[in-house]
Amino acid sequence: MKPRRSILSVPGHLQKMHGKAQASNADVIMLDLEDSVPIEEKANARVQVINSLLDLDWQQKTITVRVNSLDTPFAYRDLLEVTEQAGHVVEAFVLPKVNHPGDVYFADRLLNGIEMNIQTITAPIGLEASIETAEGLLNAAEIIKASERVQSLVFGIADYSASIGARLVSISGHGEKEEDLYPGHRWHFAISKMVMHAKAHGLLAIDAPYGNFKDPDGLRRSTVMAGALGCDGKWAIHPSQIDVLNEVFTPSADEIALAKKVIKANETAQSLGKGAIAVEGRMVDQATVRLASKLCEQAKYLGLL
């Protein structure tokens, strides 16, 4: 799967932002039909997203579309119309506020029928499930197993905060000023549990956006923590955040060199029939070898190796 270091969320009804997003350095462009679109603009946003999908050149990008929540009158039409008219351009649909595997079942069955009818769609469209409530986190394992289309779990910090009655410490509710309230990482457990479920099934884990786009230092701290917890990428709400996300989630030269050393040591040990591996005076197990291999695969895709 292509890297998803940076996912730029773009309001679906604002055409002028679509071309700018297409020219950005973001790994993924997520055209949004949900929270960033006023209710009175929902239908127009859907038309605009379809037009942008068809009119702009997205070959160098991974394109996703966030539909409206399935408990609204908009979601089924989002899935139906976007897939029928521009499904061949879309890598995945982002399903917001997924609380139950039934949400995934519905999207999966609907896409099955559309794909059978539309000949231009040559590969199954994926699904990304947003975990935004306590119920969704509790049911994460079943949500993942509901369809082979599921590619990733995404943490929705603002709605998750509301669902558990957590204190609001910032205007956006998206991660900034947390240290003023809690002496540590307030969302360590929730994100770690989401990551555990995703990685147990070979999926990606994506962190929520950082709300203050004028605070690059706060963004960096939040992104480094997300990576430390096992996240593969993070949403961005402003183009100015993209370079920081790409930098933090890109393997460094030192990391690549160490990974290559681990892989070479493992190959040498196997050729000699040895089970134990030593690198720089430290014993290395097969879990570390797998981490090194994954890092090198990403480095190769990014042209760093």
**Nearest alpha carbon to residue 42 among 7, 80, 8, 72:** 72
- Two structure tokens written together for 254: 């030192």
**How would you classify residue 303: left for phi > 0, otherwise alpha for psi between -120 and 50, otherwise beta?**
left
Nearest CA to 134 among 108, 161, 114, 107?
161
CA distances from 39 to 50, 80, 163 (A): 18, 19, 22
**pLDDT per residue over 74-131, tens digit each?**
999 999 999 999 999 999 999 999 999 999 999 999 999 999 999 899 999 999 999 9
Q: How crowded is residue 1: how many other Cβ atoms within 10 Å of its Cβ?
A: 13
CATH number of 6-248: 3.20.20.60
The amino acid occupying position 20 is K
* 51 pLDDT more than 70: yes
Sequence ranges of the domains in the chain: 6-248, 253-301
- Tell me the angle at which helices 42-55 and 15-22 cross, rounded to the nearest 10 degrees: 40
Residue 298 confidence (pLDDT)? 85
Percent of residues, the chain, with pLDDT higher than 70: 93
The β-bridge partners of 129 are 95, 153
What's the rounded Cα separation, in Å, for the pair 154 and 164? Answer: 17
Task: Give the least confident one: 51-60, 146-155, 238-247, 273-282.
Answer: 273-282
Q: Which amino acid is at 151?
A: Q
Among 78, 83, 81, which residue's Cα sits nearest to residue 66? Answer: 78
**Backbone phi, then psi, for 151, in 5-degree steps?**
-105, -30
132 is in an annotated binding site: yes
CA distance 278 to 290: 15
Q: Give the whole-number percent of the chain exceeding pLDDT 90.
A: 72
- Listed in sequence order, the DSSP H helices in 118-182 are 134-138, 140-145, 157-164
Predicted pLDDT of residue 175:
56
Please state the rounded mean pLDDT for residues 166-175.
Answer: 59
Sign of CA dihedral 254, 198, 218, 62: positive
Which ranges of 56-139 does DSSP label H, i.e. alpha helix?
A: 75-86, 101-117, 134-138
Residues 6+ apart with CB under 8 A from 227: 248, 249
Q: What is the pTM of this model?
A: 0.87
Token digits of residue 33: 């039909």
Which residues, in sequence order, are bridge partners of residue 63?
A: 29
- Distances, alpha carbon 102 to alpha carbons 71, 122, 192, 204, 241, in Å: 12, 25, 24, 21, 34
Is 142 within any annotated ligand binding site? no
